[in-house]
Structure 1
Amino acid sequence: MDAATLQTFTSPVVLFFVLGLLAAFARSDLAIPEAIAKGMSLYLMAAIGLKGGVAVSKSGIDSNVLAALGAGIAASLLLPFLAYAVLKGFGKLSRIDAGAVAAHYGSVSVVTFVTAVEILEAQAKPPGGYMVAVMAAMETPAILTGLLLARGLGSAGGQSKGELLHEVFFNASVVLLLGAFAIGMIAGAEGFGEVSPFFEAGFKGVLCLFLLDMGLIAARRIMDAKAITARLVGIAIALPLVNGAIGTALGAAVGLDVGSTAALGVLCASASYIAVPAAMRLALPEADPGIYLTMSLSITFPFNILINIGLISTLATMLVGPGAAMP
């Protein structure tokens, strides 16, 4: 086991996730109230958005930022095509279900990204602050591709196109991430200093508790899953490996530093379990949430947290070089 993977397994944020998995599999009554879990989610998104905006206010928008944004949006648009082909062919899913699941594997998981940032910073490979904007930009294109693959954009499952577009572009995570990012850019380091004790001192602790809750949810959904076949389990592990390698290679190709290259790989490897399910519920109500939620949340999410972040970090170092980390 290499140093990056070992460091992943000894990170408190990952260990709290493992604790949640074990507690749920042991059928413990450990639980975090839904209102508190939602509050932690809002806190984490606001904090990561603010810190990203402050970082960009210091560095400015340069060619690296534009290259990362272009690479991320292109990946989000195109990765669902690969997922759809595998899901419909090898996975034996219907066109509707394959399109819905494919959208998840082109979009991103905010919690996976935040966890990866913590791990990469511990490895002295901090991603650029602009990667927060890349993450927000990657959430939406995959939804449009997934709908196109499922049945074309001419139909929205009985919902108006206005409702669907509103859900896609103005869901809570996109609004809060981009809004906090803009606030960070406007306020700058000096303005952020006024609120930094709240958003920095408690960040890792809140992330630990949030991942404890995610571990509980992921394990309990696995135990309740009925529609997941061995083929789909294999796909839910293979896709983040392939997508992560593609994203990492793409980051290296456009000249990103090692931390940002790894972060782009993690974003491509992650699968949405918040924004995309909400959009699919509106646009493809006949798609089976037992398939797309179990694959993205209960299989791909734990695999990324426990194993794939470390693998992507190692690959990024191989492609870019350890000396290319940001100062």
Structure 2
Amino acid sequence: MSLAGTALLSPPILCFGLGALSVALRSNLRLPAPVFEAVSIYLLLAIGLKGGAELGDTRFADFALPALAGLALGIAIPIWCFFGLRRFAGFGTPDAAALAAHYGSVSAVTFIAVVAYLDARTIPYEGFMTALLALMEAPAIIVALLLARLSGRKEKLGHALQEVLGGKSILLLVGGLLIGAVLGKAGLAPVQPFFGELFLGFLCLFLLELGVVAAKSADDAIRAGPRLVAFALAAPPVHGLLGVALGLASGLSEGGAVILGTLAASASYIAAPAAMRIAMPEANAAYGLAAALAVTFPFNLTLGLPLYAAMARLLAG
């Protein structure tokens, strides 16, 4: 079976499809809000703990170049997105900046999906990739706000930064990294059955709910017109190729390059929307959320992961 076919038949992806199907069938299928909140906390903390334990065994010299590659992507992607969306797609400054922030930042859930994808295929990758995830979440939002300010708008940069850095995802990821680095693999052994062996099951529940949310957001993406849908479909392969190439050039393994490519190809629908809501309330919030969640996220989940794996294998020779 092809990589794409294998990805489509994985339990998390099928659960995502089931959630989307429930909307088409007008079912009332939903995870209760407290359950969804608890599952999201579990997933973010689990990847933080695992990454921290691996980071504790990593030399700084091995991490430095990949970290620079991640920062370079977090700065470059929102710049070209901002100017491209304004010039070629006709978006105004607030909407272009908001979309640039969404697509320059990263999706923790997409990261979880690519890690599960690689684990299922026993493809090795560097343990410090969780640290790259945390490192890449905020820079693009800062860059997008600065671009909007340079274009003649005075945005609430401080409030937006506080929202990003103090948000749940950053707190859990960085906190988990620190705990994992302090305790190490031996110290985390007592909780390994909970945070390790049950991880895929919780991911299935999480993606079941996201399938419902994505399907309900599809109408917003369609109403925004073909320019938004085209951007949301074209950006991931381009960004994914850049991420894979920079990952391999920075010394990452093939699996690590797949993760960096996936992060570059992903779009934030948690941190970026929250920050943009504070900094640029005049931007159309439906644009970024619908494009990231209803178009880019399903693309990455079904076609993107095997595509970035194929890119890494091809470029690695």
Matched, 1:185 2:181: yes
Q: Which runs of 5+ in 1 are unaligned?
A: 322-327
Secondary structure of the residue aligned to 2:104 is coil
Residues 1:110 and 2:96 are matched in the alignment: no
Q: Distance in 2 between matches of 1:31 and 1:151?
A: 40
Query: Secondary structure, in 3 states, of the residue corresponding to 1:138?
Result: helix
Q: CA deviation at 1:155?
A: 6.2
* Letter paired with 1:320: A
Residue 299 (structure 1) aligned to one of 295, 299, 305: 295
Distance in 2, Cα, partners of 1:138 & 1:206 = 24
Q: Distance in 2 between matches of 1:189 and 1:153?
A: 48
Describe the shift of the 1:141–1:223 C-alpha distance in structure 2 as closer, same or farther (beyond 3 A). Answer: same
> Structure 1 residue 127 and structure 2 residue 125: aligned?
yes
- How far is the alpha carbon of 1:67 from its aligned partner? 1.2
Contact kept? 1:96, 1:151, Cα under 8 Å: no
* Map of 1:324 onto structure 2: none
Q: What residue in structure 2 maps to residue 17 of structure 1?
A: 16
Partner of 2:192: 196
What displacement does 1:253 show?
1.1
1:252 equivalenced with 2:251 (yes/no): no
Q: From the superposition, tell whether residues 36 and 243 of structure 1 become closer, same or farther in structure 2 (CA, over 3 Å).
A: same
Q: What does 1:136-151 correspond to in 2, within 5 Å? A: 136-151=134-149
Aligned 8 A contact 1:54 1:187 in 2: yes
1:61 positional shift: 2.5
1:47 aligns with 2:46: yes
- Counterpart AA for 1:6: G
Measured after TM superposition, the shift of residue 162 of structure 1 is 3.8
Corresponding residue of 2:96: 98
Deviation at 1:202, TM superposition (A): 1.4
| Deviation by residue 1:94-121 (Cα, 9 ceiling, x = unmatched) | 1110011011111000000100111112
Cα distance in 2, alignment partners of residues 226 and 316 from structure 1 = 32
1:259 and 1:61 map into 2 onto residues whose CA distance is: 18
Letter paired with 1:171: G
- Indicate yes or no: 2:309 matched with 1:310: no
Whether the aligned pair in 2 keeps the contact of 1:55 and 1:130 (CA below 8 Å) is: yes
CA distance in 1, matches of 2:153, 2:65: 33
Q: Label 1:117 to 1:177 Cα distance change in 2 as closer, same or farther (>3 A).
A: same
1:106–1:268 contact (8 Å) kept in structure 2: yes
Helix, strand or coil for the counterpart of 1:68?
Answer: helix
Give percent identity, aligned residues only.
43
Cα distance, 1:320 vs structure 2: 1.8
Q: Kindly indicate which of the two structures has a greater share of residues assigned to helix.
A: 2
Which one is further off, 215-224 or 94-103?
215-224
Give the conservation status (yes or no) of the 8 Å contact 1:120–1:313: no
Residue in 1 that maps onto 2:271: 275
Instruction: Indicate the residue corresponding to 2:65 in structure 1.
Output: 67
How far the C-alpha of 1:7 sits from its partner, in A, is 1.7
1:30 and 2:29 correspond: yes
Calculate the TM-score normalised by the size of structure 2.
0.96
CA RMSD of aligned residues (A): 1.7
Alignment check: 8 A CA contact 1:227 1:291 kept = no
**Paired residues, number:** 317
Structure 1 residue 22, shift from structure 2 partner? 1.3
* Offset from partner CA, 1:51-71 (integer Å, 9 cap, x none): 1111122x3224231111110
206, 221, 224: which one aligns with 1:210: 206
2:256 and 2:291 mapped to 1: Cα distance? 26
